[in-house]
A = this chain, B = another copy of it.
Amino acid sequence: MDDLLAGDQHALDPLERQVVAFFVDGVRVLGLPRSIGEIYGLLFISQTALSLDDLVLRLRISKGSASQGLRLLKSLGAVRETRGGAERRTYYEPAIELKRLAGGFIREQIRPHLESGKSKINRLAKTSSEIDDPERRQFVSERIERLESWIRSGGRVLPVLQKLLGQ
């Protein structure tokens, strides 16, 4: 009920809101949930490391979201923990080197799909070998060969990507 009088102590300032919005958009392109963008965005523009509670308080998201979001960001190597001295609580800082961010994304989100793609193609090849009609079998083989070449290209491109982004 103070709300009407006192502005909220924790609300984001305009710049922070703009940066958070920027990253919310950014992560959507990558297919990641909004909360990931909010969390990373606020860390990115904060001069000090923030705790889970800070994130909950300032972004007005649930503890659950913050916890899960941080877990994903950690797995991507996009945030690191800083245990502040005698502090019990964990604080988080963003990784801001593109190399690291891209590397984590490729490792965690892209490579697994390439791998599962390979095995699915193997199963496809097996299914196709049972086709009776030779003409159909031939056509399908060619298409599967095409899929394999796509995957090979992907495998070749990723390292180059990482190299180019690591500057």
Interface residues of A in 14-36 (CB under 8 A from B): 14-15, 18-19, 21-22, 25-26, 29-31
Question: Is the beta-carbon distance between B18 and A143 smaller than 8 angstroms?
Answer: no
- A65 interfacial contact with B, CB 8 Å: no
Please give the count of copies of this chain that the complex contains: 2
A98 to chain B: which residues have CB within 8 Å?
149-150, 153
26 contacts between A and B (CB under 8 A): A14-B127, A15-B124, A15-B128, A15-B131, A18-B123, A19-B124, A22-B117, A22-B121, A25-B117, A25-B120, A29-B31, A29-B110, A30-B31, A45-B143, A47-B139, A96-B143, A98-B149, A98-B150, A153-B164, A153-B165, A156-B164, A157-B161, A157-B165, A160-B160, A160-B164, A161-B161
A15 to chain B: which residues have CB within 8 Å?
124, 127-128, 131, 140
Of all A-B residue pairs in the complex, the 7 with the closest CB atoms, nearest first, are A31-B31, A15-B127, A29-B113, A157-B164, A98-B150, A22-B120, A47-B139
- A89 interfacial contact with B, CB 8 Å: no
Q: How far is it, in angstroms, between the C-alpha of A15 and the C-alpha of B140 when the chains are bound? A: 9
Question: Is the beta-carbon distance between A143 and B44 smaller than 8 angstroms?
Answer: yes
